[in-house]
Amino acid sequence: MSKKTLLNSKEIHIILHRLACQLIENHNSFEKTVVIGIQPRGVHLAKRLVSILQNDYNISKVKLGQLDITFYRDDFRRREAPLEASKTTIDFIIEGKNVVFIDDVLYSGRSIRAALTAIQSFGRPENIELLVLIDRRFSRHLPIQPDYTGRQVDVINKEKVTVHWKENDKKDAVYIINN
C-alpha cells in the first residue's frame, strides 16, 4: 500500500478560506442560506467552514445541519458490509432556502443523488448547491458536478482519496492511497 500526500495542513487552510470567500460572494449574509454537511465525513468540513465564516468573516448565525443519507442510498443490500446510519440534525426550516451541501470527496455522485432525495423530506428548497473539498474528475456515474471545489484530482479507480481532519485524525491532510 502506498500513501501520497495530496494536500497538507497549510494548503487545506488556504483552500478552506478561499471556499468560504466564494460562499460569501454568492450568499452574502447567509440570511436565506443553510449549510448541510453530508454524514459522516462532510460534517467535519461543514463545521470547519461555518467556523471560518463566523470567526474570520463575522457572519453570525450561519445555520448548519447534518444530513444522513443511509436510508436513501441505491446500494442498500449490494454492499459487503451492512450500512450503518449516522445522525440527521436539521432543526430549521429549509423550505424556500438556498441549501449548500458540503461533502469531503465527490466520486461517483451517488451520495449526492441520495442527499438530493433525502433533503426533500425536509421541504422544498429554493435551490441546492454543492461544495466539495476534493473532486475526483472522470469518475462520475451520474451527471452531478460541484459548484465549489477545493481541489480537482485525476486518480484511477483503485486509488482512494481520504481526508483527515485534526479534530478526529490529529492533523489536516488529504492522501491518495493505492492498495
Partner 1 sequence: MSQLSVQHLLGIKHLKVTDIDLIFKTANHFKEVINRPIKKVPSLRDITIANLFFENSTRTKLSFELAEKRLSADIINFSASQSSVKKGETLIDTANNILSMKVDIIVMRHPNVGACDFLSKNVHAKIINAGDGTHEHPTQALLDSYSIREKLGTVKDKKIVIIGDILHSRVALSNIYALKLQGAEVKVCGPKTLIPKHIESLGVSIEYSLKKALDWCDVANVLRVQNERMKINYFPSTREYSQLFGINKKILDSLDKKIVIMHPGPINRGVEITSDVADADQSIILNQVENGVAIRMAVIYLLAQQIVQ
The residues binding partner 1 (CB under 8 A) are: 68, 70-72, 76-78, 81-85, 87-88, 117-118, 120-123
**Residue nearer to partner 1 on the CB measure, 92 or 138:** 92
CA distance 137 to 151: 10
**Residue nearer to partner 1 on the CB measure, 23 or 114:** 114
CA distances from 50 to 100, 108, 157 (A): 12, 26, 32
User: What totals of helices (H) and strands (E) does the chain contain, helices first?
Assistant: 4, 8
CA angle in degrees (0–180, nearest 5) for 158-43-149: 60
CA distance 45 to 139: 22
**Residue nearer to partner 1 on the CB measure, 96 or 123:** 123
CA distance 58 to 69: 31
**Residue nearer to partner 1 on the CB measure, 54 or 88:** 88
**Residue nearer to partner 1 on the CB measure, 21 or 85:** 85
Choose among 51, 8, 36, 56: nearest CA to 130: 36
- CB contact at 8 A, 146 and 106: yes
Instruction: Give the shortest CB-111-to-partner 1 separation in angstroms.
Output: 15
